[in-house]
Amino acid sequence: MKNKVVNWPVLAFGLALQVLFLNQAHAGFTVSGTQLLDANGQNFIMRGVNHPHAWYTHKTSSFADIAATGSNTVRVVLSDGQQWSRNSASDVANVISLCKANKLVCVLEVHDVTGSGEKHEAGTLEKAAQYWVDIKDALIGEEDYVIINIANEPFGNNQAPSAWVDGHKSAISTLRNAGLSHTLLIDAANWGQDWQEIMLDNASIVAEADSLANTFFSVHMYEVYQNYDKIDNYISNFQTKHNLPIIVGEFGGDHNGSPVDEDSILAVSELYGTGYLAWSWSGNGGCCTNLDMVHGFDKNNLSSWGERIINGVNGIKATSKLASVYDTNSPSPSPTPSSIPTPIVTPSPVVTPSPTVTPSPVVTPSPVVTPSPEPGALTCSHTVINSWPGGFQGRIQISNTTSTTINGWQVSWEYEDGSSVASSWNANLSGTAPYVATNLSWNRQIQPGEYKDFGFVGKGSGSAMNVRCQ
């Protein structure tokens, strides 16, 4: 075999292009701790409604009507044909176009698996997963605007936890193996209400099955959730235990004659910065017509339930913010293939193989022992980056102001106004007065002139004092 002459600059540029386009393939929403980030990397909090499109495919004006309420998201009922008439790929493509035309984030769900294992006519999670693969041509390229809610309430009551865990792990693999890189949403067991706490106990196991680390979760709050403490405990415990986003994917003011504490659902959602999607726009059957937000799909005929959700305290109009992908004042994602920089030709660069590109940081604890940081090596700052009545979102930034690499950090702080942290991400958190945060394995190193940060949500105003780092 003849020796091959390698053009190192060209090869290096080719590798850079490959990485660039791989990153572009995974554009769209991403999961970051307890936050859902949109394609511009901006925190996105869902505020919207469910729309029963599968049963009312002719009510396409509903998308514009829902957008007019101030909603930033619509969760769209679809059928894969197991119980109802199958929504075709072309119909789904039209739904997506309607969402985009009305600046709505489109959460698509298959409804046929509702109550499986208990409801004999319910479909299977396996077939629902295959449906998304079958219509993938309508989905690929829409990652910035579409979230796939694999199946609505896919397990009924008294089902083995392993059925929910293993069924969703397999479904996630089916979608990822088919090349669908969208953010995935998983519904809780027990008809979505999780009274057995199967999702609360096992969400991390399911999330770890996602090769793109881009899965989050939904609980449906009906008669199981009748007081503030129950609602607060579920959401705060989920975030603390799993460090993953959760939304209230369905809820009503009552259900089957039993009350639901919708005021607390809205208040807790605002407190923790979690999304909510009310059930439903219109068209409910005999048991649940009081859950119609508008009567007869008439946007000018609000029900009392619609009035509460749209115009009430912590409701849609008061709290909804447009996704930045629809906001012309928001930063655009970068880089894009049309703005590829001209490569700089350098003599004989060392080319190392590129690791598999995943959204999550590769955990590689460094074997190199770095010098202990000198006094004053780190500076840190506490910032409240978002607030609402009774709560806040904070960030602490740790900066390396020295000429040596920092290999491990710790931050402590207190709140002078009695504020408290409910959940955090990108750090190990302990204590309360003071709080103490330490690095994770993947963010322990801070190079000279660089910084690392971590975030949290809390109760109170977040007025911090005695912020120290080492």
Instruction: Yes or no: say if 188 and 223 are a contact pair by the CB < 8 Å rule.
Output: no
C-alpha distances in angstroms, 39 versus 142, 245, 273, 352, 369?
A: 11, 16, 18, 29, 37
Phi, psi of 34 (to 5 degrees): -85, 5
Q: Which two tokens stand for residue 331?
A: 């930063």
> DSSP readout, 284-336?
--TT-GGG-SBGGG-TT-B-HHHHHHHHSTT-HHHH----GGG-TTSPPP---
Instruction: Yes or no: say if 195 and 224 are a contact pair by the CB < 8 Å rule.
Output: yes
What residues have CB less than 8 Å from 50, skipping those under 6 apart? 74, 75, 76, 77, 250, 277, 278, 279, 280, 281
Strand 105-110, strand 445-446: pairing = unpaired
Cα 116 to chain centroid, rounded: 25
For the cut 50, the answer to whether the pLDDT of residue 52 exceeds it is: yes
Burial status of residue 352 (CB atoms within 10 A of its CB: 0-12, 13-18, 19 or more): exposed
> What pLDDT sits at residue 402?
87
Average the pLDDT over each of 67-81, 362-376, 429-443 and give the range with the smallest value: 362-376
**Residues above pLDDT 90, as percent of the chain:** 68
- Per residue in 208-258, pLDDT tens? 999 999 999 999 999 999 999 999 999 999 999 999 999 999 999 999 889
Instruction: Yes or no: say if 295 and 256 are a contact pair by the CB < 8 Å rule.
Output: no
Task: Please tell me the distance from the alpha carbon of residue 183 to that of residue 172, in angstroms, as a whole number.
Answer: 10
> DSSP readout, 198-234?
HHHHHHHHHHTT-TT--EEEEEEESTT--SHHHHHHH
- Per residue in 129-147, pLDDT tens? 999 999 999 999 999 999 9
Known active-site residue 414: no
Task: Please tell me the distance from the alpha carbon of residue 333 to that of residue 338, in angstroms, as a whole number.
Answer: 12
CA atoms within 13 A on the CB side of 37: 14
Give the chain's end-to-end CA distance (angstroms, integer).
57
Q: Which one of the listed residues 250, 262, 270, 450 is annotated catalytic? A: 250
Q: Which one of the listed residues 153, 208, 307, 416 is annotated catalytic? A: 153
Select the more confidently predicted residue: 236 or 26: 236
Complete domains list, the chain, with CATH: 28-326 (3.20.20.80), 378-469 (2.60.40.290)
Please report which confidence band the pLDDT of residue 106 belongs to, taking 50, 70 and 90 as the band edges. Answer: very high
Please report which confidence band the pLDDT of residue 355 belongs to, taking 50, 70 and 90 as the band edges. Answer: very low
To the nearest whole number, what is the mean pLDDT of the chain? Answer: 85
Known active-site residue 153: yes
For the cut 70, the answer to whether the pLDDT of residue 336 exceeds it is: no
Q: Which two tokens stand for residue 400?
A: 């390396």
Q: What is the mean pLDDT of residues 287-316?
A: 96
- Per residue in 421-462, pLDDT tens? 987 878 889 998 899 999 987 788 898 988 888 888 888 999
